[in-house]
Every structure is written in C-alpha cells, then in structure tokens.
Amino acid sequence: MTAEESDLVLVKRVQRGDKSAFDLLVRKYQHKVVKLVLRYVRNPAEAEDIAQEAFIKAYRALPQFRGDSAFYTWMYRIAINTAKNQLASRDRSPIAYDLDLTDPEESHSVQTKLQDPDTPEGMALTEEIRGIVNSAIEGLPEELKTAIVLRELDGLSYEEIAAAMECPVGTVRSRIFRAREAIDKRLREVFEGGLGRTEEMV
Amino acid sequence: MNEERQNERDSQLSAMFDGELSGAECELLARRLTRDETLRGQWSRYALIGAAVRAERGVRLDDRVARRVQSAVAQEPVYGDSAAADVAAARSGTSSSNASQARVDAYERWLRFARPLAGAGIAAGVAAVSILWLRTQEADPALLASAPVTESIVLEPEPASTTLALNTAQPDPEPISNGEPERYSTPAPSSQTSIAPPAHFANYVVAHSEYSGPLTRRMALLGIVGADSQAESATEPESEASSRVEAPDAP
C-alpha cells in the first residue's frame, strides 16, 4: 500500500462520517501545508490562518473527492488557491497592511497577531523540539539514523531505502520504527503527556 | 496490553504513517486510531519528528493548526453514517467498507442483467405497436378511400378502351426517355365496395411510392392486380349465365 492509499483509507472514513479521521490527516500534513503557504505569505501567523482555512475548505469538499489524485496533491492545490485568493483580497483591501497607529489598542492586537508564532515562547518551544529531535537522531545507531533520514529528509519509500541499505524491506520498517520510538521517547520525557499539551505549557 | 503487542501495534502505526502498511491492517488501525487518543498523540509526534528533521523554518512544531481545524470542523455537518455502519459491521463480523462494497456490487450485478432485458422489452413493445398500427392501416378502408389521390398527384385514370386502342395501334418510334414514365395508366374505379377500390388504391400506392421500398410497392401492385382478377372472375359467370339464358331465344 502506498501513502496515497493509506490516506485514502482515512478519507473514506471521513466520507462515511468519521470526523476524527480527518483530524489524523490534518495532524499529518499541517506542517507541510503551513510551509507551503509560507512561500506565498511571509507572516507565519497568516500562513497558519490560511492553512486552517484550506483544511476547512478541504473538509467541505471531501464528499466530492474521488481519489483520482493523492489526498496531499489535492490538499496542496486547495492550499495554494487559498493563499492566492488571500493575497488577491489583501491587494484589494490595503487596510490589513496599514495599521491604524492612532488607535494604540487595536494596533497592539494586530501586531500581537502578526507576531504570534514569533513570540519568544513560541520560538523557544519550536527550537527546543527541533533540538531534541536532532540530538536524538545524533544519538541513534548509524543504521537507524540512515533509515530515518532517508525516509523523512529524502522521502524515499521502504523499498528504495532497502535497496540503498542492502537489507530486506521488513528490516527497514523495523529500523524506522525504532528510530521514531527513540526520538519519541525523548520528546515524551520533555513534554509529559505528549505534545497535545504544549500550548498549555507555553 | 503486553509490550510485544504494543511494539507490533506501534510498528504498524509507523508503517501506516509512511503508507507502507497493507490495506487490511491499515483499515483496522485507522478504526482504532479514531478512538485511541494515545495512539493519535503518537501519530502527531511522528508528523512533528518529520517536520523537525526537514527543518521547516517558520513552522511551529506543535498541533495548533490541527486543534483549530478540529474545533472548526466540529461545527460542520457529518458525512454518511459511520457509527451505524461500524456497529452493523462489528455485529456481522465484517468491516463497514466491505458491507457497503457488497451492496454496491450487488446493485451493479442487478443493473448488468436488467439493462439488456429492459432494452429488449422496449424494442419488443415498439415492434408490437408498429405491427398493430400497420394492420389497422391495412384493414381500414376509410383511410384508403380518403387517400389524397387527386390532390397529391395529377394522375387521371384512363378508360380501358383507350388503353386498348393504344395497345393495338401501330407503335410509334420510341421517344427519348429520361427514365421517368410520361404517363401512368390506372384502372378505372371499381364499383365494388367489398374491397379497396383498385383505382384509388393504385393512385394511393403511386402517390406514396417515394416513401416505400421497391418490394413493398411491388407487393401492393400485385395485390391490385389480384383484386382486379378476382373482380373479373366474379363478373364473368354472370355474363355467361345470361348468355345461356338468352340462348333458347336465339335463332
């Protein structure tokens, strides 16, 4: 089964009325979609808003999704169109850019919103997570490190990694799982109860 | 759950995240994922590890977008009826997707047989109506009598004597013909009412010959000839009988 087919299993569950399956798709692709939108808008907060809007549009359009293309390809197009529409509407209404500095309270709220992901706490959390993951990877045995990097950084399939590492596909699956488990263990140690509570911790 | 089974489940989760799990296992795990919050948290962290490895700058490494989307989607309508399908599937021991797929398959099988049968039925109905209509047309003398003979074509029946005279006369040199007859000779109208008047019928056939096939036209003309023969044979005995009655008076 490919990643597309795996996503399609979740998509079909959503189409049958399982909203939590859509949540799994959002959790899987949220970072990729935000990164994609950041090519169009510089502001991370705005990129998150656009990503959120794109996911909601995708949910509304999901009954018409027939699986002719991969879910992420379809989602990719929705996100780009949403970002372009946002840019076009912003061009039509320059108020969003021109902060009314005569109203200090409103000016402050807009500034806060724009800078939200760049707050020291937000930046610190992101950098901390990144540091934990990187140090965990550095501490991995070489074969686990190679397997997880080939998968996550280079996007190779298990079969391609097996060919590159000259080992069976089953071994690749096991190595990637063990690498993830080791990294996840470090993350859990830092953030007790998982990353779902990081916002509250911040 | 013992450690070995948990490891196997987590290994499946990792493979599913990468799209490397078999279809059946993926279905089962997807169902479990939607109910098990611990497993969902693990799924989220796998996504986060990937984002951290790819060093996606400007992207916050948390679930904020997902949580905002989740709360927004909660206000949206639910598609289908997964709960009922899952309960039914769990009771019957099959997955909901299998149950729905089986229903779709059965419907498609029924359509495969029903379509040709329906087509054949419609064709048979049209044929039956056509035959009945044709029979009605043949049997209805009023229609034949009301055929637009004089209006649709300029053809006047010639007396039989004229035709006879023409036949006995010395033949003229053949005129140059373009394939179309210059005139038509049709029999004189008959006084008999038991069958269609041959003259009218012949006019009708000629007038409508452009709409009928050659074989049909020929059959119709043969019918006219046959009708004429019958009429003649019906009148001949009368003349013979009258001649026989008159015979004793003859010198």
Whether B84 has a pLDDT exceeding 50, the answer reads no
User: Over the stretch A50-109, which tens digit does the pLDDT of each residue have?
Assistant: 999 999 999 999 999 988 899 999 999 999 999 999 998 877 655 444 444 444 444 444
Q: Please report, rounded to a whole number, the percentage of residues in chain B having pLDDT higher than 70.
A: 41
CA B102 to CA B232: how far, in whole Å?
75
CA A93 to CA A84: how far, in whole Å?
14
Whether A186 has a pLDDT exceeding 50, the answer reads yes
Q: How buried is residue B69: exposed, middle or buried, by Cβ count under 10 Å (0-12/13-18/19+)?
A: buried
- Could B47 and A30 be called an inter-chain contact, meaning their C-beta atoms sit closer than 8 Å? yes
Unique residue bearing structure tokens 């064709």 = B123
φ, ψ dihedrals at B39, nearest 5°: -65, -35
In the prediction, which pLDDT does A113 show?
Answer: 43
Closest-CA distance, B87 to chain A, in angstroms, reads 13
Whether A24 has a pLDDT exceeding 90, the answer reads yes
A15 touches B at CB < 8 Å: yes
Q: Which residues of A touch B43 (CB under 8 A)?
A: 24, 27-28
Q: Which residues of A touch B72 (CB under 8 A)?
A: 52, 56
Tokens encoding B64: 């904020």
What does pTM read for this prediction? 0.56
CA B224 to CA B34: how far, in whole Å?
86
Task: Find which of B12, B17, B18 to mutate to test the A interface (most A CBs within 10 Å of its CB).
Answer: B18
User: Over the stretch A117-162, which tens digit does the pLDDT of each residue have?
Assistant: 556 777 788 888 889 999 999 999 999 999 999 999 999 999 999 9
Report yes or no: A44 and A117 within 8 Å, Cβ to Cβ: yes
- Could A195 and B63 be called an inter-chain contact, meaning their C-beta atoms sit closer than 8 Å? yes
CA B114 to CA B124: how far, in whole Å?
15
- Residues A44, A50, A53: CA angle, nearest 5 degrees: 145
User: Is the ipTM beyond the 0.85 threshold?
Assistant: no
Tokens encoding A16: 């049958």
Q: Which residues of A touch B22 (CB under 8 A)?
A: 1
- Could A3 and B85 be called an inter-chain contact, meaning their C-beta atoms sit closer than 8 Å? no
Cα four-point dihedral sign B122, B128, B131, B133: negative
**HSE toward the beta carbon, residue B61, CA cutoff 13 A:** 27
Q: Which residue has the higher pLDDT, B208 or B28?
A: B28
In the prediction, which pLDDT does B138 show?
Answer: 61
A148 touches B at CB < 8 Å: yes
Using alpha carbons, list the distances in angstroms from residue B36 to B7, B124, B129: 16, 60, 66
Report yes or no: A6 and B16 within 8 Å, Cβ to Cβ: yes
DSSP H helices in B140-159 = 141-145, 149-152
User: Over the stretch B184-232, which tens digit does the pLDDT of each residue have?
Assistant: 555 555 555 445 556 666 677 667 666 666 676 677 667 666 666 665 5
Q: Which residue has the higher pLDDT, B5 or B103?
A: B5
In the prediction, which pLDDT does A6 show?
Answer: 86
List b or e across A6-24, with b for residues whose CB sees 16 or more CB atoms inside 10 angstroms.
bbbbbbbbbbbbbbbbbbb
Count of beta carbons in the 10 Å neighbourhood of residue B22: 14
Task: Find which of B7, B32, B48, B104 to mutate to test the A interface (most A CBs within 10 Å of its CB).
Answer: B48
Q: Which residues contact A29 (CB under 8 A, 6 or more apart)?
A: A72, A75, B47
Closest-CA distance, B212 to chain A, in angstroms, reads 53
- Residue ranges of A 74-133 with Cβ closer than 8 A to chain B: 117, 122, 125-126, 129-130, 133
- Could B79 and A187 be called an inter-chain contact, meaning their C-beta atoms sit closer than 8 Å? no
- Could A17 and B14 be called an inter-chain contact, meaning their C-beta atoms sit closer than 8 Å? no
